[in-house]
Every structure is written in C-alpha cells, then in structure tokens.
Amino acid sequence: METLLAVLIVEDSESDAQLIVRLLKKAGYQVAYEQVETAEQTRAALKKQTWDIVISDYNLPQFDGRAALEILKEEQPDIPFIVVSGMIGEESAVAMMKAGAHDYLIKGNLTRLAPAVKRELEQAGIRQERKQAEQALRESEEKYRTLVEQASDGIFITNSEGRYLDVNSAGCALSGYTREEILQLTMQQVTIFSMSAPLQLKELQQGETIISEREMIRKDGSLICVEISAKQLPDGNLQGIVRDITGRKQADDQLRQLSSAVEHSPSAIMITDVDGKIEYVNPKFTAVNGYALEEARGKNPRILKSAQTPPEVYIELWQTILAGKEWRGEFLNRKKNGELYWEFASISAITDSNGNITHFVSVNEDITARKESEEKIKRLNAGLEQLAMTDYLTNLYNRRYFMQRGAEEFKRAKRNNQFVSLLMLDIDEFKKVNDTHGHQAGDMALQQVAAALKFSVRESDILGRMGGEEFAVFLPDTSLHEAFILAQRIQQVMAKTSFEMPGALLTITASIGVSAITDQMSGIDDLIRTADEALYQAKRSGRNCVIKYKKNSNEMFDMSNE
C-alpha cells in the first residue's frame, strides 16, 4: 500500500521538481505536492496546510534554501527540511545543517533521496513523540513543583545547645530517624564536628550564614556527606538546611579521576564548543602535533587540515555528530611543523540535561606507523600478486592466469553473443637457437617475441606465455578475419626484427595458429585446442606462416586472408 506524502518543493526548475516527485513515487509514496519558488509562495503554502516534508534547492533566482529554512522554522518548525542542490560547498552544507536542515543531496546523485525522506519522516515522528512526552513531563512537574521544592532538603531546628526542636519529612528521610527519635537527639550525635571544623557558633550569633560540608551519621551507622546552610533565627534558635551531597562528592572524585585520566591519556583529546572553537587539548595532543593548549585554544580544528582528506569525510562527520551520534574515521592531518600524519578519530557530541549539544569531544590516535606498515604490506602483496600472475622472463601473464582471464572473457562473449579469437604462437626452431647461441640468446628470443606482441596488440587484448617458446593472444570482440590479419602483422614484425648476439645477428620467425569462437565451443579449452591444431598445421606447412582454423569450411585449415 502506498504511503501518503505531502511534499512542499522549493524549486524554480519544473523538471527538477518532477524528478523529485517521480523518485518518491517510485519509492512507494503517494505524492501530493506543491512547487514554490519565492518567499511569499513558501509562506503562503506553509500557512495553507501542514506538510510532511520540505525539499528545497539551495540557490534560487529570488530566494535561497537558508531563507526557506527560516520561514519553515517560523511556520511549521517540526517538519523535516532536506536540501537538494546542484552545487554546495562544505562550509555551506555544514552551515545549513547547523541552521537546522536535516540532510542535503546533490542533484546529480539522488539515489539517497527516498531513504533520506524515509529516515527524516521517522525522525520527525520520534521528535514529535519526544516533544509530547516532554510537554507531559513539564505539566507534571508544574503540578508538584511546590511540594517537591519544599521537601527537597532536610530542615532541622535546634536550640543554642544543639538539641533538635523540629525537623521536616526530608530531614527524617535523610537521617533515617523518625521525627520523634530526632527530637531526642542533639546535632553532636548526628553530625561530625572536629577541631579543624568547629560549629562556628559565634559567627552564627553575629547573624552570619555559615555554609559547610560535613559528615552525617545516619541511624543505621552509615556516613553520608552533607552540605549545611546554617543561620540563627530571630528567636535565638538555629536553623540548618541540609542537603545530601554524597553523590556530588563521588562525582567530584570521579571527575578528578577522569581529569587525571584525560591529562595522562595515551590518546590525543580535544574538546571544542558547539561552534567548533577549541577549548581544551591534553598533553598528548600537544606531543602529537605540536600545538600547545595556549596556541590551540580559540582556534578551529581546521588548523590541522592537510587539504588531502576528501571534503565528503568532513560533511559525513558533521551530519553524524550533529545527529548526536559518534563518528569514527581517519584523517590525513598536518602538524604544526608541516609534517603530515595519519590520525584515527572518534568524535561525539556532549549534551546538557535537556539533550542540547554544548560541546564536541575528539579522541585521536596517531596511526601513521600503522598506515605505513599497511602500505608496505599492500605493496608487498601487490608485488606477490604480480609475481603470481606473470611470467618472470617476458612479464606477460603466465599460463594459469591467462587461462583464468581467458575463461572469464570467453563466458562474457558467449553471454553477449560477441566475437572472440585466439592466436597460438610458437617460435620456429627455438631449440636450435639455444643449442647454437646458448640459453641467453633463447631468453632474448622469448623477450623479442613478447615485445613484438605488446607492440602489435590492443590494451584490451590478453597476452600470455603458455610455456617454453609458446605464446597465446586472447582477442575480445575480434572476428576470425581480423585475428588472421593481426597474426600476419605480428609474423612480419618478428621476421623483420633482428637482435645482436656476441658474434652474430639473430633473426627469429614464428608459426601462428588462429581460431575463433563457435556455437559448438563450451569453454576456453576448446578455443585453445583449435588454435593449437592450426599452429601445428603451420609447423607442418614449413613454419613462419599463419594458419586459421575453419571447421565449417571444406578444408579445416586456411592460409588465405579472406
């Protein structure tokens, strides 16, 4: 079943608007839309009805996406806003996201349009549910605010000798005693005083309010940390407003531990405000890139940019952290001294109790050594892979890899009903070259053939040394006639080329067999077999010639170029 979708499209191009509608319909939406292109039209459309989503171009002749977003915030602030533009820089994209846009897409690549709309509609629903829940919570808090405030802290009244005269319910809960039990005690039995922190009765009698932190002994014997705000009442009695700060003290201890851990962390840590200005860096940060806290504070992290990290990385980063999620990735950064280094970063938002982003924290690890090791391994693997697929002497594909590539190309040609041909080439009287001139001459002869083949074929053709003095050329999209002409050209190039040996000028020739794909062939082996047969016929015909295999003609082998 199609999903109803009301879309307001801020766009001056009718064709672009229709493309957006088509993509949304293709994704399963029943689209009701209105196209506007001025501020007046936008405001009127938002006043007229409630929309599910707004999709806006960034630049319009009389208008722009930023202005459309501001109007949306005034009229229907909870509606998702997606920017679809032809060109938008990183800074503009980040500015739009900070201003409240939920996503942006490039017009030339709208594959993410439907998923982005689906995601933002879901997020809008979540935001609406959260808003309703927050509103309900606020109403509940307002209803009980007075009662909660009155009972939040313990209130104790004592006489000048310290005997309790009164206590509220919060004070009873704090101490663990009932009101009747409290009234039988003195504050010296409940609160710990010491020589270094006395009661300061004189100051209280002089009208001062004394705020101190002490330990309270609860009825069960446990100790809690409390903050006491004490003053003398007009009747001479003393009032103490007591707050349990055990959790805060523990949090302070944890904060000190955390601060120490951050200061001594083996990772570089940076904290920025919501605008991206650096507020804190730890010593490891300074050790890695050379910027001390005094130098970095107030700056933007772009001081580390090397201009070699793709802009898309930063766009994805901002999208992720502005959504309240953690971004993890790599940068190629630049140190203060100009040296480049690789860094793995984990960046996330810090929010307040209301969920508003207040800061960003980045935990970074210098991975330069690891990246260099990975690059070395990659180069080594590439070298090993090259060795595994090529013949060491001629640098052509070896038989195993040639057969693998040939099999793939054969299947493709069969599937697409295309021509494929194959040349099998054998150096004439190669044994005589080795016996007469030595193996060095034989190696040079093999290299001479490889050079002639490379010179004669296309980049798309596949060359291989099949073993000994035998070579193969796989020719995609090539008919038997075209392959035959190429084989003749290779034969002529070789016959006309000589190379010097100590005491001799050596010329080599080759016999070549040519075959092409037929409906009866099932694989590369059939193509090689028929080309081999043509090659052997060329050998029997006196060598230094080209023979093509023609199964469906009156004669199996043909030396003509027709």
- CATH number for the domain spanning 526: value is 3.30.70.270
Q: Do residues 49 and 114 both lie within one domain?
A: yes
pTM above 0.85, yes or no: no
Q: Do residues 274 and 243 both lie within one domain?
A: no
**How far is Cα 94 from Cα 101, in angstroms, rounded to an integer?**
9
Domain assignment of residue 192, yes or no: yes
* Residue after which a domain boundary falls, among 128, 162, 186: 128
pLDDT for the residue numbered 195:
67
Which secondary-structure segment (H or E) carries 466? strand 462-467
pLDDT for the residue numbered 505:
80
Banded pLDDT at 529 (limits 50, 70, 90): very high
Tally of structural domains, the chain: 4
Three-state DSSP at 241 gives strand
Question: How many helices (DSSP H) and strands (DSSP E) are in the chain?
Answer: 19, 25
Domain assignment of residue 159, yes or no: yes
| pLDDT tens for each residue of 446-465 | 988 898 899 889 999 999 99
Domain assignment of residue 346, yes or no: yes
Domain assignment of residue 306, yes or no: yes
Q: In the predicted model, is pLDDT for residue 355 greater than 90?
A: no
Q: Which two tokens stand for residue 4?
A: 């109803």
Q: Do residues 511 and 438 both lie within one domain?
A: yes
> What is the CB-side half-sphere exposure of residue 498 using CA atoms within 13 A?
6
Q: Do residues 101 and 210 both lie within one domain?
A: no
For residues 513, 517, 521 and 522, what is the CA-based torsion angle, rounded to 10 degrees?
110
Q: Do residues 367 and 407 both lie within one domain?
A: no
Q: How far is CA 81 from CA 13, 105, 442, 525, in A?
A: 18, 11, 73, 60
pLDDT for the residue numbered 144:
39
- CATH number for the domain spanning 315: value is 3.30.450.20
Q: In the predicted model, is pLDDT for residue 107 greater than 60?
A: yes
Tell me which DSSP letter residue 552 carries: T
pLDDT for the residue numbered 149:
44
Q: Do residues 93 and 169 both lie within one domain?
A: no
Question: Are residues 466 and 402 in contact, defined by beta-carbon separation less than 8 angstroms?
Answer: yes
Domain assignment of residue 361, yes or no: yes
- Give the closest residue to 468 by CA, choosing from 432, 442, 492: 442
| Domain residue limits at 28 | 3-128
Tell me which DSSP letter residue 162 carries: -
Q: Do residues 406 and 528 both lie within one domain?
A: yes
Q: Do residues 447 and 359 both lie within one domain?
A: no
Banded pLDDT at 250 (limits 50, 70, 90): confident
Question: Are residues 302 and 362 in contact, defined by beta-carbon separation less than 8 angstroms?
Answer: no
Average pLDDT over residues 42-64: 90
Q: How far is CA 202 from CA 199, 215, 240, 455, 471, in A?
A: 9, 21, 16, 107, 109
- Catalytic-labelled residue, pool 11, 469, 470, 533: 469
Q: Do residues 471 and 408 both lie within one domain?
A: yes
Which of the given ranges, 136-150, 264-278, 363-377, has the highest pLDDT on average?
Answer: 264-278
* Ramachandran class of 46: left when φ > 0, alpha when ψ lies in -120 to 50, beta otherwise: alpha
Q: In the predicted model, is pLDDT for residue 119 greater than 60?
A: yes
Q: How far is CA 435 from CA 107, 441, 511, in A?
A: 69, 10, 20
- CATH number for the domain spanning 103: value is 3.40.50.2300
Q: Do residues 348 and 409 both lie within one domain?
A: no
Q: Kindly report the number of other CB atoms within 10 A of residue 373's CB atom.
A: 11
Angle, in degrees to the nearest 10, between helices 480-495 and 439-456: 140
* Residue after which a domain boundary falls, among 220, 249, 278: 249
Average pLDDT over residues 533-548: 93
Q: Do residues 94 and 8 both lie within one domain?
A: yes
Domain assignment of residue 209, yes or no: yes
Q: Do residues 273 and 197 both lie within one domain?
A: no
Three-state DSSP at 498 gives strand
Domain assignment of residue 137, yes or no: no
pLDDT for the residue numbered 389:
84
* Residue after which a domain boundary falls, among 249, 281, 313: 249
Domain assignment of residue 134, yes or no: no
Q: In the predicted model, is pLDDT for residue 554 greater than 50?
A: no
pLDDT for the residue numbered 247:
84
Active site (annotated) includes residue 469: yes
